[in-house]
Amino acid sequence: MIVLPSFVADSVVLTVDEKYKLASVGSLPTDQDVDNIRYSPTVQDILNAFIGDENTKNLNLQLKAKEYIEESNLFMAWCVLLL
């Protein structure tokens, strides 16, 4: 289990169960992994829609991560959260 970064542990979007799932991964994605998903169309839509509004951008990234968790894709959930 990993220790959750404070922005994940303190998230009001993610449930306790979802946070537990995120903590259960063996390791976090690398910086290269995160950079690789930065240019995916779905992520670009979120990043471009909320330029200059960090709070709303982060909220929407957490909502996207929540979708990935529901699909059991913890790797992508982490990549989105670490953007």
Tokens representing residue 12 in the block: 């009001």
For the stretch 61-81, pLDDT in tens is 999 999 999 999 999 999 999
For the stretch 5-64, pLDDT in tens is 999 999 999 999 999 999 999 999 999 999 999 999 999 999 999 999 999 999 999 999
The sign of the CA dihedral 27, 31, 32, 34 is positive
Report CA-CA distances (Å) from 20 to 17, 36, 55, 69, 73.
5, 25, 23, 11, 14
